[in-house]
A and B are shown apart, each in its own frame.
Chain A
Amino acid sequence: MFSTLFGQSDAQGPPGSGALGFGSGKPPPPLPQSQVSLSGQLPPQIGDEGPMLRKPGASNEPFYLLRDLPVGNELTGNSNLITHYNLEHAYNKFCGKKVKEKLSNFLPELPGMIDCPGTQDGSSLRSLIDKPPVCGNSFSPLTGALLTGFRLHTGPLPEQYRLMHIQPPKKKSKHKHKHHRLQDPLPQETPSDSDPKKKKKKRDDDPDRKKKKKDKKKKKNRHSPDHPGLTGSQPNSSSLR
């Protein structure tokens, strides 16, 4: 770095180093300080290979290879860039307070198990980028003929597909979502429950289901004063039929 500013007294560079201002032949020996100003006045044939690095009229200058200073930039790392771009509010919002880790804290209204990695159930956004879906076709409503393909069999879904509707417990949603959202996919009173064979199946299936039904009963009894005082220890109530 110093050699480029002030010349190099002990240069042993190769002959091809003319770009640095060292011409062919021996470099001049180190001179005493009083003669430094004369050493800059070299004959033009030496150092001609590097004219692009000299300022115009540099042959009269005492300094070799004195480059122009770089253009100063007003905005450097010396200034606080967050203040410069008016991001203090954003900084205080995100870095001042604790940001919760889970995705469900960012999207509390979204149903389903969204905190699980997307690769597990094939719902990752990355797969959407890697294999983009077919676009460009128009969306047209389904006609009667097409809707015949959506005629389903009656009855509940198989066990392995039911978990998609179960939402993780939400602390805030007890009072707000209790009345206008259906948390439980299994209806309590349906015409299919009148089938005695199905009734038996349901009773035999899960003890957990019974517990859930008991809890629902208790909640129902709290809100409807017309109901007799049924307790959870009576499984053979009319609501099951």
Chain B
Amino acid sequence: MAEKFDNLEEHLEKFIENIRQLGIIVSDFQPSSQAGLNQKLNFMISGLQDIEKCRLQLNEINVPLEVFEYIDQGRNPQLYTKECLERALARNEQVKGKIDTMTKFKSLLISELSKVFPEDMAKYKAMRAEDPPS
């Protein structure tokens, strides 16, 4: 899996470097640079071919759309991962608090009801003990 990404990354780096050099040639063009320019253009096309081949290996990769918003704003996409983890932890703590509160409430309710309706609660507890969750 990591090899597929490494392969794609390598091709992309070469492609970007080629484009950068193309830009330098074009920024102050000389007649003697024409051959080099033609070569760079064909390198660009072969680079696109290589990237196209990598695309087939990465069909199953899913990227969350929110990451694209971060990149479009010029922000580090690792911040998205960080915020996801922080939100997950906060939500985990929130749900744990609810579960703990409900558990305490249940035990308190059962104990109070047992004081008021001892026979019925004894039957209820026996029934619950007989029938585990299906």
Q: Which residue numbers of A lie inside 8 Å of B, CB to CB?
A: 33, 36-37, 55, 61-63, 66, 68-72, 76-78, 80-82, 87, 90-91, 94-95, 99-103, 105-106, 109-111, 114-119, 124-126, 129, 139-142, 147, 150-157, 162, 164-165, 182, 185-187, 190-192
Determine whether the beta carbon of A99 is less than 8 Å from that of B78. Answer: yes
What residues of B have a CB within 8 angstroms of the CB of A106 in the complex?
76-78
- Show 6 A/B contacts (Cβ-Cβ < 8 Å), sorted by A: A62-B123, A72-B133, A109-B13, A117-B73, A118-B73, A126-B68
Question: In the assembled complex, which residues on chain A have CB atoms less than 8 Å from the CB atom of B69?
Answer: 126
Across-interface contacts of B76 in A (CB, < 8 A): 99-103, 105-106
B128 and A69 within 8 A (CB): yes
Given A77-B94, A103-B77: 15 more A-B contacts, CB < 8 Å = A66-B127, A69-B132, A94-B81, A116-B74, A118-B72, A118-B73, A125-B68, A126-B72, A129-B65, A142-B42, A154-B29, A157-B27, A165-B20, A191-B30, A192-B28
Instruction: Chain B residues near A153: list those with CB within 8 A.
Output: 29
| Given known A100-B76, A110-B16, A185-B24, contact A192–B30 (CB-CB < 8 A) | yes
User: Which single residue of chain B is at the shortest CB-CB distance from A151?
Assistant: B34
| B-side contacts of A162, CB under 8 Å | 27
Contact B68 A76 (CB under 8 A): no
Q: Which of A76, A95, A154, A182 contacts B95 (CB 8 A)?
A: A76
Whether B111 is near chain A, meaning CB under 8 Å from some CB there, is: no
Contact yes or no, A186 B27, CB < 8 A: yes
SS of B interface (majority): helix
Number of interface residues of B (CB under 8 A): 59
B124 at the A/B interface (Cβ < 8 Å)? Answer: yes
Distance, CA A109 to CA B38, complexed state (A): 25
- Are B96 and A78 in contact, with the CB atoms below 8 A? yes
**Is residue B92 within 8 Å, beta carbon to beta carbon, of the partner chain?**
yes
Q: Which residues of chain B have a CB within 8 Å of any CB of chain A?
A: 13, 16, 20, 23-24, 26-32, 34, 37-38, 41-42, 45-46, 48-49, 52, 65, 68-69, 71-79, 81-82, 85-86, 88-89, 91-92, 94-96, 98-100, 117, 119-120, 123-124, 127-128, 131-134
Q: Do the beta carbons of A62 and B120 come within 8 Å of each other? A: yes
Chain A residues lying within 8 Å of B92, measured Cβ to Cβ, are 77, 80-82
The CA-CA distance from A139 to B48 in the complex, in Å, is 7
Assembly CA distance A190 to B124 (angstroms)? 96
